[in-house]
Structure 1
Amino acid sequence: MIDEPAIRQRFEALAPGLDEGGRRWFAAAEVRSAGHGGVTRGHPRHTGIARSTIGRGLAELRSG
């Protein structure tokens, strides 16, 4: 189960101090922690970050 308020709280707390890459990695880490289907189940809705951007963040996290 996705804890939507917790995701939103974490993002709102961190977003002002993050650049574009940091926001992308945050969203990707949240999606990865949600498991299979995380992007589809609504993570972009919590962060306002596009699915394609989250996908790039996931690729970056995988590549190290």
Structure 2
Amino acid sequence: MWSYKAVNGTAPNFWGWYDPTYWPSRPDLTNDTAAEIKTKWKNWATSDTFELNSALGIEP
């Protein structure tokens, strides 16, 4: 199985189709409010946080 998004480190990660370009805040499901969780999850959108992994040599 191939991973769509690698979350092990920033690009290039060599195994994910998309690699993170930076690490946004992760939601704390125990302590964050519902609004904080929603805001933090929005920061993990593919278009904002990830880029195509150029190490794979695959074109979209």
TM over 0.5: no
Normalising by the smaller structure, the TM-score range is 0.3 to 0.5
Q: TM-score, normalised by structure 2?
A: 0.34
* Greater gyration radius: 2
Name the structure with the higher helix share. 1
